[in-house]
Amino acid sequence: MGKRIVVKIGSSSLTSDEGGLNRQHVRFFADELASLHADGHQVLLVTSGAIAAGFRRLGYSSRPKLVHEKQAAAAVGQALLMEAYQEALNASGVIAAQILLTRPDFSNRSRAQNATRTIEELLKQQAIPIINENDTVAVDEIKFGENDSLSALVANLVKADGLYILTDMDGVYTGDPRKVPDAVRIERVEVLSDELYRIAGGAGSSVGTGGMRSKIEAARIAMQGGVPLFVGRVSEPGDLLAAVAGHGKGTYFASSLHSLSAKKHWVGFLSVPQGRIVVDAGAEDALLNKGRSLLPAGIIAAEGEFHPGEVVEVVNSDGRVLGRGVTHYTAWQITAVAGLSSEEAMKRVEVSRIEVIHRDEWVVSTMIKEANSHE
Ligand SMILES: Nc1ncnc2c1ncn2[C@@H]1O[C@H](COP(=O)(O)OP(=O)(O)O)[C@@H](O)[C@H]1O
Ligand SMILES: N[C@@H](CCC(=O)OP(=O)(O)O)C(=O)O
């Protein structure tokens, strides 16, 4: 049975010693992707390399350091990068499609849905979506900086069966092999430990940006989303097929057994809360210990302006954040019904459902903190 596979190729795998795009490497990876495709898998590629492909053409003598210079180089290089992939994939009769994304495209539900629809159609038509960060609009705080977490978000978005992060190292080692000569490869990771974050260092090459640290961060996102991943090297023909078959040169990460539904994943990790709901001790217990939905009776107050479908934080009367969820009420509707029985509340406001926050759209803060504690 064909699988849905997201492959991420980093700058370090695509650049020549001088820092420019190595077209021979692009051809090699394109052949590897085409053979996965020919084997009946649905393939998506997240690729870096735009800056590498463009900086020289724009007149810089070395890879630029400043953000606006990198953005300009990427604007030139993205077209060259796509051209290189298209030419290489054409040889195998595979169509390549360009998709440029930034983080808000994942946190905004309608944009995420549009991206998903486009990708689904491309896969149906047997094309390979080739994805990169939209470097022109991504600035500091919204910039991925590296494509590792982008690839994990993509893998979650399309509910991939596996994410394959290809780099210049054949897996995660017990220390950066460039600095720790006796480091050994970790074959399999079931749970992300603090130890793993400690041993994963920054980029080893001058062109890579995230290093192993950002790959561990990507692992966190993918594992939470229920997607298993592989971090390793593909350097010989057939290596990618071998990696997908489970015997690649790299480290395999299991997906979390307690992965969240797509909706809860969005609520917990991608959404931006628009306001707060203050609840009493009874509601706190119902939400944290009993797996219940939030009803008007347990609400003390609403803070901020928000609308149905938006995400809000829920706090207790001491201000402690309990979690976040999708509200079905506006802030003023909550103010109107706070503390009332559901029956009474229904008489006063017109809402699509009785629950202010449904338990299927609620994530407790310990879950979010646990996952974000390494940021
Ligand atoms: N524990 C580790 N195991 C393996 N590689 C590590 C580790 N810590 C840091 N690294 C470095 O991470 C680099 C890969 O990351 P990076 O250069 O950002 O690649 P890419 O461009 O493929 O994303 C490796 O070349 C290596 O030097
Ligand atoms: N999006 C940019 C930079 C991305 C980048 O360097 O990422 P990575 O190779 O994953 O560390 C590019 O295409 O050059």
State both tokens at 350.
């017109």
Q: Is the distance from the beta carbon of residue 145 to the nearest atom of ligand 1 less than 6 Å?
A: no
The β-bridge relationship of strands 299-303 and 311-316 is unpaired
Which pLDDT score is estimated for 103?
83
Q: What's the 314 CA to ligand 1 centre distance in angstroms?
A: 39
Distance CA 113, CA 158 (A): 10
Which pLDDT score is estimated for 208?
53
Distance CA 251, CA 249 (A): 7
Q: What's the 120 CA to ligand 1 centre distance in angstroms?
A: 32
pLDDT less than 50: residues of the chain? 141-142, 370-375
Q: Is the distance from the beta carbon of residue 232 to the nearest atom of ligand 1 less than 6 Å?
A: no
- Binding site annotation covers 250? no
Q: What's the 343 CA to ligand 2 centre distance in angstroms?
A: 55
State both tokens at 190.
């079931």
- Number of Cβ within a 10 Å radius of residue 315: 21
- Binding site annotation covers 116? no
Q: What's the 7 CA to ligand 2 centre distance in angstroms?
A: 14
Atom of ligand 2 nearest to the CA of 53: 14
Residue nearest to atom 25 of ligand 1 (CA): 204
State both tokens at 156.
């979650």
Please name which ligand lies nearest the alpha carbon of 101: 2
Q: What's the 341 CA to ligand 1 centre distance in angstroms?
A: 56
- Binding site annotation covers 8? yes
Please name which ligand lies nearest the alpha carbon of 213: 1
The β-bridge relationship of strands 321-327 and 229-233 is unpaired
pTM (global) more than 0.95: no
Q: What is the pLDDT of residues 189-248, one digit of tens each?
A: 998 888 888 888 765 555 555 678 889 989 988 988 889 999 999 999 999 999 999 999
State both tokens at 111.
């944009």
Q: What's the 93 CA to ligand 2 centre distance in angstroms?
A: 27
Ligand 2 site: residues with CB under 6 angstroms? Answer: 10-11, 48-52, 74, 132-133, 135, 146-148, 208-210
- Binding site annotation covers 135? yes
The answer to whether 317 and 283 are in contact (CB under 8 A) is: no
Domains of the chain (ranges, CATH numbers):
4-259 (3.40.1160.10), 264-372 (2.30.130.10)
